[in-house]
Amino acid sequence: MSEAPDTVVIPPGALASASVRVDTWLWATRQLKSRSQATAAVRAGHVRVNGEPVKAAYKVRVGDEVRLRIEGFDRVLGVVLLLAKRVSYPQARTAYDDRTPERPRVHVPVAMREKGSGRPTKKERRELDRLRGYDSHEHY
């Protein structure tokens, strides 16, 4: 299986100082759909490398741990290969070690009121607060 000529793959141990921008690596490994989305995620603070918040130009190296917050959950990825260009999914999958913990499967239904039933009474508000986990004395 030959790679495209414009694909830059740096195997571990090839160069000790080899590195790639974190936003480029996230895009190349298909974690995010576009490079601009990857840059925006880094700027918003959704990306951490080795536990530290980073900027888009931060250089990742083989062995780094990248945490990416997507849809309210963290993805934990170990950098195995450095990719500077986007590659197919099977190739991209070999560039990282997915260490993401299992997502919780608990689904709690949200307390809802029927539309048109009017404003809740004080008693109903307290019951809703209890269901949502609020202490009634916190707000007052």
Average pLDDT for residues 125-129, to the nearest whole number?
Answer: 86
Note whether 94 and 16 are within 8 A (CB).
no
Whether the full predicted model's pTM is greater than 0.85, yes or no, is no
111: tokens are 């307390």
For residue 15, pLDDT over 60 is answered with: no
Looking at the domain that runs over 9-98, which CATH code has it been given?
Answer: 3.10.290.10
Domain ranges of the chain: 9-98
